[in-house]
Amino acid sequence: MMQMASCGSHDMDMEEDDVSQTQQEDVPTPVPPPTSRNKGKRKERSSGTTSGSKKKKSARSWEFSVPTSNGTTNMKKLLQTCKFFQVWEAAGNFKDQNQTVLTPTGSDGTLSLRKVSESVVKEAPNELIVLAQLPLAFIEGIRWRHFCSKVLLPTPVCRKTSTKEIVKIYADRKATMKIILGKNKQRLSLTTDIWVAPYTVASYMVITAHFIDANFQLKKMIIGFKNVGDHKGGTIAQVLLDFLEEWDIKKIFCITVDNATANTSALRKFKAGFLQKSIITMLY
């Protein structure tokens, strides 16, 4: 009996070992988590794929779409023709140079890229002084300096520098006007008058030339502005002749003046002197 009991217990132990071994075999082996080495690097997205679905990429601003199976070359080409992209790209290129980039203006998509240069900042105040008839001391005044500091303009120049630049502007404009009058082969019409300054009581004579250019546009230019000592006919005639010689004007259609008595005498003397110079020019 004791032997049978021991055999039964031995069989039970073997069965338990088989069950435990079977359970161990059924337990799956744990898989280690993936490491960073197993991860591949993602490909960079193309700059042309701005928006769209998985099948097709389309641009939001244009009626244009291409399948992704053909690549993104067409999208890149289209992006280079976009004016908004050109402005954005220009802003990045000129960022280090403190350039001012303007956005598209109007419905036609017109673009403008500008930078206010130092030469323009120097020229504009001089033109302001001339057009507004301001004193040269204005350029050194606290009002103008306060304005320049507010809008971040360069430091204003002194009145001596401004005087030299105004004279240079006059010389450049005069040379340009001479070229324009030299190309014009028609006769000129002149108007002249003398006015007195309210504070200095000085007399100034101004001469304006009128003509029609090649585009049939009426043009007028001030070719003379001179201080005269008196209002006599001889003085007026001589000033007219001097300015015509200075500007190399040889053809006159008419001269318009007011009804002062001195002007009648001036035009009579001017006509005689102009015809005499014309005859001398034709002879020589």
> In this predicted structure, what is the pLDDT of residue 52?
45
Q: Please report which confidence band the pLDDT of residue 86 belongs to, taking 50, 70 and 90 as the band edges.
A: confident
Which of 167, 197, 224 terminates a domain? The answer is 167
Q: Which residue has the tokens 């679905």?
A: 53
> Same domain, yes or no, for 162 and 189?
no
- Flag whether 237 is in a domain: yes
Amino acid at 253: F
Smallest CA-to-CA distance from 246 within 168, 169, 175, 140 is with: 175
Decide if pLDDT at 42 tops 80: no
Residue 101's φ and ψ, nearest 5 degrees, are -105, 125
Higher pLDDT, 264 or 97: 264
- Flag whether 8 is in a domain: no
Decide if pLDDT at 150 tops 50: yes
- Flag whether 11 is in a domain: no
Q: Which of 39-43, 203-207, 245-249 has the lowest mean pLDDT?
A: 39-43
Work out the average pLDDT over 18-41: 53
- Flag whether 139 is in a domain: yes
What's the domain range around 145? 118-167
Q: Say if pTM beats, i.e. exceeds, 0.75.
A: no
- Flag whether 270 is in a domain: yes
Q: Which of 27-36, 48-57, 139-148, 238-247 has the lowest mean pLDDT?
A: 48-57
Higher pLDDT, 19 or 69: 69
Work out the average pLDDT over 200-204: 90
- Flag whether 100 is in a domain: no
- Flag whether 238 is in a domain: yes
How many residues would you count in the chain?
284
- Flag whether 251 is in a domain: yes
Burial (0-12, 13-18, 19+ Cβ within 10 Å), 197: exposed
In the chain, the number of structural domains is 2
What is the rounded CA–CA span in Å between residue 100 and residue 142? 28
Q: CATH no. for residue 260?
A: 3.30.420
Decide if pLDDT at 207 tops 90: yes
Q: Which residue has the tokens 């088989």?
A: 18
